[in-house]
Amino acid sequence: MLRKRRTFVFGVLFSAGLLRLAAFAHEGHGKSEVGPYDLDTPRQVSPETAAHIGLKTAEVDFGPVEDVLPLSGIVRAAPDRHWAVATRTPGKVLSVRVQVGDRVKEGDLLIEIDSPELARNIYEVRKLEADYQKLLVDIARAEGRVKQLQVEIENSQAAAGLAEAELQRSEDAGANAVPLNVLGERRAAALKARGEAKLKAVDLEIANKEAEALKNQAVALRLSRDALVAIANVEPAQKGSVSRPADDQTINLVRLLAPADGVVIARSARSGHWAAPGETLLEIADYSVVQVEGELPESLIARVVSRSSDKVRIRIAADELFLGEGRVKFISPVLDEVKRTAHVLIEAPNSAGTLRGGMYADLVIVLREAKTAVVVPASAVIQDGPVHFVFTKNGDVYQKQDITPGLSNDQFVEVLAGLAPGDVVVSQGAYSLTQLRPKAASVASAAAPGGAASPK
């Protein structure tokens, strides 16, 4: 019994619903309106309705037309404008001077680290530097000895020449003029002078070799010093503590400086943290120039490669009024084997910072620019299957007008037939017009001879 009662109630409710649906279906088919899908019927729109649906118009005019290719991409920081700040030597973080979001200038102090290993490394470098300086003194002393021997050789050779000349005069005078003992003494003096000159020459040769050896040793020591500075991981900010130590300069303090102008986008360092060599403590990026990464389908690569323009327009969902420009920087020579796409990079200026890392962007690659043609805003054209049409305005009456489109981009559509310069078309709210049911008055005026909204 209960089941029959439920069935009866359901039937009554269902019948009532059908009656209400039928009544709703015929609602609005009075004398003032015609069928809702009659697009060819002119539409008379009041100023209030036009304002409500955001109706805007534009005059048809001549303008340039571009052949474009739409893509999508993701905004990234340019690799050469993204820096990781890390320490070369381990140590305890004493202070971090910046926070995420802070803007920094090149050379600004970012982090201070207490590093005993750096102190030991600088000590070794300074010790080697002291040995090098001492060796330079030894080289100077050796070069002075060489010069001294050169002077002594000249004097010895001159003395030997005089002694030999005296001996020659004595021998020429004969044994009767010079006693034999004197002649013997003069021969001995000449031999001694010549021997001393030869010994000085030997000493000079040895001194030259010693000086040359010291110079080679100094070169090797200097190279060792430079190598130790490199392998000791001395930070650029601490290079002065190696060659020009100051009494009040702490050699165990690592001072990490900003590598370039930018903004701090990540921070993992904190006071008391033990920093390991190579560990990224801060990340700094410069977003004044960004790159947008997209994927180019294999079938479209040839069109982009053979393009005559490098211009790319960029739009983002976060700001509908933003219109940026970039250029194609790189098209990968290697395809993704699964997606069958080539990686493409777009470089774009971003001085206002509107483009942010990770943001999705709509890209329009301009392949070529065509000659001046009759154009209408792209938002004015509606496609219904194979048919393209616009709404033209005449007073407060709007009439559907079929067109033959040509080239199109994200801004304009070329009109090959259907419109002429000077015509006024709906540039915003055209789709809303298709949803409005035309008034009977506008139908009558369109059917009357000389109606104000006769179709083209």
pLDDT digit string, tens, across residues 299-330: 999 988 888 888 899 999 888 888 899 999 99
Query: pLDDT band at 20, cuts 50/70/90?
Result: very low
Q: How many CB atoms lie within 10 A of CB 152?
A: 17
Closest-CA residue to 94 (of 282, 234, 284, 275):
275
Distance CA 444, CA 438 (A): 11
Cα–Cα distances in angstroms (integers) from residue 151 to residues 9, 145, 196, 201, 450, in the given order:
136, 10, 13, 11, 125
Percentage of the chain beyond pLDDT 90 is 21
pLDDT of 176 above 70: no
Instruction: Give the pLDDT of residue 182.
Output: 65
Residue type, 362: D
Residues 375-426 pLDDT 10s: 888 888 888 888 889 988 888 788 888 888 877 777 788 888 888 888 888 8
pLDDT of 270 above 70: yes
Crossing angle (nearest 10°) for helices 116-173 and 180-231: 160
Instruction: Give the pLDDT of residue 296.
Output: 92
pLDDT of 225 above 90: no
- Which tokens in the block code for residue 306? 């053979």
Instruction: Give the pLDDT of residue 212.
Output: 86
Kindly give, in sequence order, each residue whose CB lies less than 8 Å from that of residue 116, ignoring residues fewer than 6 positions away.
91, 252
The torsion angles phi and psi of 237, rounded to 5 degrees, stand at -70, -15
What would the mean pLDDT of 438-446 be, rounded to a whole number?
52
Q: Average pLDDT, whole number, for the chain?
A: 78
Closest-CA residue to 73 (of 290, 334, 283, 299):
290
What would the mean pLDDT of 137-144 be, rounded to a whole number?
85
Kindly give, in sequence order, each residue whose CB lies less than 8 Å from that of residue 321, ignoring residues fewer than 6 positions away.
none
Distance CA 71, CA 48 (A): 38
Residue corresponding to tokens 């020449």: 161
What would the mean pLDDT of 158-185 be, rounded to a whole number?
71
